[in-house]
Structure 1
Amino acid sequence: MFIRTDEQSAHDNYRLLIGSIVPRPIAFVTSVDENGIVNAAPFSFFNIVNNDPPMIMFSCGRLKNGELKDTSRNILGSKEFAVHIVDEENIEKVNHTSINAPSGISEISLAGLTTVPGQAVKVPRVQECKIAMECRLFLGCKLVGESLFS
């Protein structure tokens, strides 16, 4: 079978990707806005980038109107965030945070989750998650030939 992604809708391409690349880990990302409100959102486009130095990545799309989502805006502003690994015990509550809550409303409290202070960053971790990685944004790129590597 040959599928032309340029002849499909974005939704069809999304379904193709998430159905083809499995298992697909879920990153549960917390960030903090300029008013100290904790934002939380799950991201299914997430993986390891490097081990030395340890680096992970997740892809945060934009809103339909082209504006940045709260997660991106918060991380670009503070340069800090926390990534949690989702497991079966917390999947329902984490999934609840994917709602389209207005900016300034914390999805953490709406989902019934608990925050604990970060140790290396100002962004809190989620107590119910067994694994949390406190992260700082890395924006380093160099151009090699026709490809962009970061």
Structure 2
Amino acid sequence: MSAIPDINIGLYIDLEIDGVVVTDIQGITGGTVTANVVEFQHYNEPEKRKLVAGKSVDPYEIVCSYVPASASYKALALLAKNSKKVVCELTLKGGADTASGSQVLTFNGFISTKSISTEIEAVRTVTYTLIVDGGITETDGV
């Protein structure tokens, strides 16, 4: 399968954590990759120099509808409870089917927090914070 060939919307995604397909997703944010920059001064040079010392990846926030009877909810609640490190695959699709191309983001991580939100006149949700351990590998197609 090929990479996503054109601009697209965030509606078409699949998320798999530790072999469990996450259902009832309302939104996923995060995963910002940031270079950690070291600044240093040399004698006889007016401007400081900068080097990249390493990179870090921000956590993902996964917001799902609160459906405690679902297999997805039960599996993620258990992962949040035991902080087990797992393999995560986030598939970004170019459209409703894989013929539109896709990108797969793969990384190791663990769920550090689980929070339930119950607002008046809003859908009850559960939010998981997924910590990325190491980097993210991005590959074409599924």
> TM-score with structure 1 length normalisation?
0.35
The answer to which structure, 1 or 2, has the higher relative contact order (CA under 8 A, 6+ apart) is 2
Q: Higher helix share goes to which structure?
A: 1
